[in-house]
Amino acid sequence: MDAEEFRKHAKMAIDYIIDYNENIRNRQVLPSVEPGYLHKLIPSTAPAAPEDWSVIIPDIERFIQPGLTHWNSPNFNGFFPAGNSYPSIFGEILSAGLGCVGFNWMLSPACTELEVIVLDWLAKLMGLPEHFLAEAPGPGGGIIQGSGSEGILVALLTAKEKTVRQIKPLHPNIDEGTVKAKLVAYFSDQSNSAVEKACLLGSVRIRPIKSNPNGTLKACQLKNAIVEDRENGLIPCFNWEIPLGRRFRALKLWITLRMFGESNLRNFIRKQVSMAKRFESKIQADSRFELCAPVCLGLVCFRIVGEEFLTRELLSVVLDSRELFLNGATLHGKYFLRYAICSRDMDLSDVDKGWTIISNATEAVFSRHANKSQQVIADMTNANVNALKAGISR
């Protein structure tokens, strides 16, 4: 593919992305394929001769789209937002097109320095203390990690190394291995499993702290655990990153922050929060449901009042419809559903549609069990009548 072919085919790819996003509401949010479906559609070997882009891109629709869960659909309300926007797509294209590999500053000064700058921007937008900034005196500054799990592991390894360096001068006769064996990390029992995985990979013992009924953690609970562990001879503790090569990921953040601006980002967050509050009001107005935790930003946690199996069945019915995506979780042994505001294009009408799907699915669950109860009563009645007849005939 030469430059002119790339220019022509890039427009075709951009048009495809735009059409996909503009019509994503019309797509079933969950795929209906079976595991291994793609092996039946795509050859087992690569083509011997080159194929034209005009032949390849229709196969995206034919083969790939049927197996996608549409994370950016307004009907995707599970897990968390995928963080997709047109400005970030610009950044992705430019990052791939420029093809930088930032081993160090010399190999790509802009790649290194832009990341430092835009993460200071982000820290300021979030209102973090000044000592988190690279521009401030001290060891502050941030870096873009490949994933949340990777970020947690890097933070743990950093805390581990920092603690060892603090302890060794105070106790020079203790070898490094002994110090590391005493390190302990603290986290809420509601933390993502990535925290526990990081501790396992980092060889640090874990101390989950029991959260309150609403899922939050109080400072006094953490303090008590730290005091107890210190009395038992343990050392509380919780490399910039693991990979050496780096993509020019800061471009995505730089372009997104510039094209949105602080005011539009703030308005976007407020819009997401208002939609979550809309869904919360529907839960509160329906006696069949209860909230399981205070609504936080764009996340609403709820369940059907009563036995756990009803909420589990509700999730099953909703997912089977392929019209809406939710996911379940457990808080202190109580199963509930998570309704998250994820899509950037979501509006109040999508909240209302999602609520209708959930409400109708709940009615179906209740109806199913009402019919079962009626059948059990009928069977018991028939059994009693037959027993009575048998007694009379005797």
Strands 299-304 and 334-340: antiparallel
Strands 327-331 and 334-340: antiparallel
Q: Who's near 228: CB < 8 A, 6+ residues apart?
A: none
> What span, in angstroms and rounded, lies between the C-alpha atoms of 15 and 9?
10
> What span, in angstroms and rounded, lies between the C-alpha atoms of 113 and 109?
6
Rg of the chain (C-alpha set): 27
Question: Annotated catalytic, 192?
Answer: yes
Q: Exposure of 221 by Cβ count < 10 A (0-12 exposed, 13-18 middle, 19+ buried)?
A: middle
> What span, in angstroms and rounded, lies between the C-alpha atoms of 52 and 46?
14
Characterize 237-249 residue by residue with b for buried, 16 or more Cβ atoms within 10 angstroms of its Cβ, and e for exposed.
Answer: bbeebeeeebbbb
> What span, in angstroms and rounded, lies between the C-alpha atoms of 153 and 229?
22
> What span, in angstroms and rounded, lies between the C-alpha atoms of 211 and 12?
51
Q: What phi and psi, each to the nearest 5 degrees, are found at residue 164? A: -60, -40
Please tell me which residue in 192, 239, 382, 386 is annotated as part of the active site.
Answer: 192
Return the active site residues. Answer: 192
